[in-house]
Amino acid sequence: MKVKTIELKGNKGVLKIEGTDVYFVNALRRVMLSELPKLAIDEVIIYDNTSPLFDEIIAHRLGLIPIPTDLRLLTFRKDCKCKGKGCPSCTVRYTLSKEEEGIVYSGDLQPEHESFAIKEDKIPIAELAKGQRIILEVEAVLGMARDHAKWQTVLAPTYMMDVSIEVDKKRMEEVKDFIKELPKDIVELKANKLEMKYITKLPVLESYIDKVKADFITIKRDSSTMTFSFETDGSLSAKDALKESINILTKKYDEFGKLLKKLK
C-alpha cells in the first residue's frame, strides 16, 4: 500500500491511497466518525441565567463547542486514577461570567489552564440585553461519538475511487456536443478520454450521462486507488486525528489477530 499526502495541515486532510481495498479505507473512515476521542463539555452548572434562553438550550450549545484536545495529557474519566472524581488528568474546567449587553461567545469561556483556551472563539452562545447575565461553570471530558454526537471530531470523511472515463472514438462529434451541454469546468477531452477537473463533480457528470443516455461514454472505477478526504472541527488537527485513528485501527487489527490465534 502507498499513501501520498496531498494536503494535511490545519483542520483538513486529503490523502491518495494506492494498492488497498475499499474495506480498509472504510474502516479508517468509521473509526474517525465514531471512535476518535476528544474533549467536550459534559457537565454544566448554571449559577445564574437571565438570558432569553432556557438553561437546557445553553447547556446543549456549550456541548457542541470544539475544545482543544491533547490526547497525550488526558485520559478517559472512567480509566483515570481519580476513579471518576475529576482530576486534571481527565477533566478540564471552564468558567463563564458575562453581564454586558451583547453576544456571549465561546471565547468567553475561561479555562482553568491557558493551554485549553477555546480556539474557535466566535461561536455564539446567547445574546444578552441590558441587565441580563449568564454565570456558569462547566467540565469537559474525553468521549467518543459512538456515545454522543458532541464528541465527534471528524466531519464527513469521504473516499472516492480513481476513475477512467473513456469515449467511443467513432462517435467523437457526439462526445463534443455532449461536453458543450455540461456546466463549465467539469471535464476536458484529451485524446480518447475525458479527464475530470474536479473529481468531486463526478456525480454531476453521471447525472448528465444518465439523462441523455450517453452510451458513447464509459466510466471505469479502480477500487484499489482512492482519494480520502476529511476535516476536523478544530478540537484536533487533521494530522493528529489521522495518527490517532490509525493507532486505534492498528490496535483493533492486533486484537483480532490474537483472537484468531486462539481458535487454532
Judge whether 77 and 141 are in contact, CB under 8 Å: yes
Q: CA-to-CA distance for 115 and 37, rounded, in angstroms?
A: 18
SS3 60: helix
In the chain the domains, ranked by start, together with CATH numbers, are 2-35+155-229 (3.30.1360.10), 38-150 (2.170.120.12)
Q: What pLDDT does 190 receive?
A: 86
User: Residue 74: pLDDT above 90?
Assistant: yes
Q: How confident is the model at residue 101 (pLDDT cuts 50, 70, 90)?
A: very high
Region 99-111 average pLDDT:
96
Q: How confident is the model at residue 4 (pLDDT cuts 50, 70, 90)?
A: very high
Distances (CA, A) of 74 to 41, 78, 165: 14, 12, 48
Q: How confident is the model at residue 264 (pLDDT cuts 50, 70, 90)?
A: low
SS3 82: coil
Q: What pLDDT does 255 receive?
A: 92
Q: What does pTM read for this prediction?
A: 0.84
Region 69-90 average pLDDT:
93
Q: What pLDDT does 156 receive?
A: 87
- As beta bridge partners, residue 224 has none
Name which of 41-55, 122-136, 151-165 the model is least confident about. 151-165
